[in-house]
Amino acid sequence: MSAVPKMEPLESLAWALNRLATLQGAVLDPLQLRSGLRQCAGVQHPAELLVLLCRLLGVGAPQGLRRPDAAHLPLLCHLPDGQWGIVTDLAPTGDWMVACGTVTQAFASAALQDRCTRMQLAPAGSSAVSGHPVGPAPAETFRSRRNAAIRPYRGALIEACVGSVMVGLLALATSMFSMQVYDRVIPTRGEYTLFVLATGVLISVLIELAVKIARARVMDHVVVGVDGMLSRDIFHRLMSLRIDQVPASVGSLAAQIRGYEQVRAFYTASSLFALVDLPMALVFVAIVMALATPAVGLVLLGFALVALFIGLASQRRIARQAKEGAAYANLKTGLLVEAVEGAETIKAGAGGWRFLSRWLDVSARTIANDLKMRHLSENVGYLGGSIQQLSYASLIVVGALTVMHGEMTTGALIACSILSGRILNPILAVPGLMIQRAHALAAEDGLEKLYQLKTDNHGVRRPLAPERIEGRFALEDVSFAYGDNPVALRVPNLRIQPGERIAVVGPIGSGKSTLLRVLTGMYVPQSGRVLLDDLDLSHISRLALSRQIGYLQQDHRLFQGTLRENLLIGLPDPGDEEILRAMRRTGMDRIVAAHPKGLDRPIVEGGRGLSGGQRQLVAFTRLVLCRPRIILLDEPTASMDDDQERRCLGVLAEEARAGATLVVVTHKPNVLPLVERVVVMIGNGIVRDGPRDAVLKDLEAARRDDDARRAAGASLGVAGAQA
């Protein structure tokens, strides 16, 4: 039997996880996996290592198995020699087949005892794993993700609820202490009894304090866990949005996502305590009836019901105001972001007054809504305070009459007055909870809108992840429009063969950039199909496309960080030698050498401080480092000087000769010698497509004919004027 090839433990774990993901129809981000493994390098115990790694990768918690189970195959397995493998099958002999690298070996069940782990790396609902029938993937909502994030902490939430019940019951000690002091200690002058009772109250208070601290720690654990899962899920959802689905107002979208904090605060603390304290109020009413008379308890119960009715009656109005307030806040944030990002344009065009007018209008609406919400909240609070005072006074009146009739003791009346606060306080908190709930629901509605937007590979349960893409495109009856606007691109038929070099030319607004985005898969046409290597582009994993398609957009953006970080976004670090080689090829080494910090040069948001040509050169150098099989370029040298343009075009020529498929949108004649085919677009469609020289000759002939017609028209106009 062949020996299992030796790999480093973490190296074998990386192989096993990638293999498991492939079998489950998932795609792991290699950079995220590599980063996670580095952070787990010091963990020795396999179970702890997997738990930490799953948390870093954002996948479900691993489930350890006592022994392998064929119903759960494939399984991750930690082999006796320290390596990791995949249990793939059960042999007829009863042995388990374990794949590790290029070798598959048989192991007895005893050898794999307590060494197998069930992990879910595929998207939720994948038919390959869960056994769901083949069909469209179920729609994912924020509320479903919220429930999924809270579900693992049900035990902790139950513990917190039990702690809240204990706190409520321990609070009875003060009431019982007061009753015993007034009824027994004072009449009998029992000093010893007083000290014993005081000691009991002290012990009760200390226990209550300890329970509250423990409950707070438990809730902190829940909040951190739920927040980590939900915040990651929301940001991952944002990053997974298809580009043509991203809302036009970035600021409003950011405000909607920020509203998640209100949702988290409501569902992790307020609702839990209300869930416990409200039922406990009924328990305290029953205790009051037992200590005093039913009449005293009914007084408190009646006022509690009135307070609850006021809170519930204001719910609809509170919800309406909260929804309007959220809309105004989103609009205000969107305007602010737009003004900051376009400050230079606003100043150059003297348009500050227009933005100030819009800002004042939105601010006035926001302030008016805030005033309505505040007045509503204050009025409900004032009513609650009045009800609390009236309930206390009514309790004392009814209790005093009961004492005078000898139906209860003075101590019982004092105890009931103390318990009245425990009954009414949770009820009076209902309006405040309603306001928090309204804000949380408004924020949830905003997040639901995010989850309703289509993501990459929308509707596909198991996206394909081919190891190699050749670059053969086919567009069939493709039509694309931005929202409700007129059609921006219409291509009945377009074929691109692997290794072809194509230039796309045409006037502005003719659909050239839109065509490139459709080829990247970032835009999905409303009708027609886009095929890549005979596969529907929407069926190929976005990560697989990004690995093998190099796309350089016209308005490339740099991010806050260092020059090196911007150069290596989404790339494994190839090492300094490879980076230097790429920079020397493109000429970026001169930019690096000109700054005292070199590649550690700080970059601010948007790349401000670098010229447009320098930003374009950084993006171009990153493309060279990627070494993609398909290169899609949108005006790659638009902001470069002639010398830099020649250098970059030389690099493109080398990449094209290496067999890469090249499609470049350009207005510059200097780019055309690189290509062998030219596609001409006018009016959002293709009007000419053929060999470069033939198409350029036709275009030149058409230009001469147009010039001749214009000249003839001008001559006729002059002659008519002279006549």
- String of DSSP letters for 642-659: HHHHHHHHHHHHHHHHTT
CATH assignment at residue 655: 3.40.50.300
pLDDT of 55 reads 76
pLDDT of 128 reads 38
Contacts of 414 (CB under 8 A, 6+ apart): 178, 179, 182
Which residue, among 693, 299, 309, 246, has the nearest Cα to 503 in the 3D structure? 693
Give the Cα separation of 164 and 157 in Å (integer): 10
Q: Are 553 and 609 found together in one domain?
A: yes
CATH assignment at residue 298: 1.20.1560.10
Phi, psi of 124 (to 5 degrees): -60, 135
8 Å CB contact between 54 and 153? no
Signed CA dihedral, 71, 72, 75, 80: sign only: negative
Q: Are 149 and 232 found together in one domain?
A: yes
Out of 125, 156, 181, a domain closes at 125
721 domain-assigned = no
Name the amino acid, one letter, at 386: S
pLDDT of 272 reads 62
Q: Are 79 and 168 found together in one domain?
A: no
Contacts of 116 (CB under 8 A, 6+ apart): 64, 65, 67, 68, 69, 75, 76, 77, 87
Q: Are 211 and 160 found together in one domain?
A: yes
pLDDT of 91 reads 84
Kindly state the tokens that stand for 137. 């993937």
Rounded to a whole number of angstroms, the CA Rg of the chain reads: 35
Out of 71, 91, 125, a domain closes at 125
Q: Are 71 and 173 found together in one domain?
A: no
pTM of structure: 0.75
666 domain-assigned = yes
Which DSSP string do the residues of 83-148 spell out, in sequence order? -EEEEEEE-TTSPEEEEETTEEEEE-GGGGTT-EEE---SPTT-HHHH-PPSSSPPPP-HHHHHHH
pLDDT of 504 reads 94
Kindly state the tokens that stand for 453. 């937007």
Taking the CB of residue 406, how many other CB atoms lie within 10 A of it? 7
400 domain-assigned = yes
Q: Are 565 and 507 found together in one domain?
A: yes
684 domain-assigned = yes
pLDDT < 50 positions in the chain: 1-4, 123-137
Name the amino acid, one letter, at 248: A
Give the Cα separation of 573 and 555 in Å (integer): 25
Q: Are 564 and 670 found together in one domain?
A: yes
Q: How many independent structural domains does the chain possess?
A: 3
253 domain-assigned = yes
Q: Are 113 and 171 found together in one domain?
A: no
Domain interval for residue 506 = 473-694
Give the Cα separation of 265 and 223 in Å (integer): 8
Q: Are 114 and 43 found together in one domain?
A: yes
* Residue 40 φ/ψ region, left for φ over 0, alpha for ψ in the -120 to 50 degree band, beta for the rest: alpha
Out of 452, 481, 516, a domain closes at 452
Q: Are 359 and 215 found together in one domain?
A: yes
280 domain-assigned = yes
Work out whether strand 535-536 and strand 630-634 pair parallel, antiparallel, or are unpaired: unpaired
711 domain-assigned = no
CATH assignment at residue 118: 3.90.70.10
pLDDT of 131 reads 40
8 Å CB contact between 300 and 424? yes
Q: Are 441 and 488 found together in one domain?
A: no
pLDDT of 464 reads 81
Signed CA dihedral, 673, 678, 682, 684: sign only: negative
pLDDT of 269 reads 58
8 Å CB contact between 699 and 688? yes
What separation in angstroms does the CA of 391 have from each of 176, 306, 395, 398?
21, 10, 6, 10
722 domain-assigned = no
Q: Are 437 and 490 found together in one domain?
A: no
For helices 430-452 and 191-240, angle between their N-to-C axes, nearest 10 degrees: 20
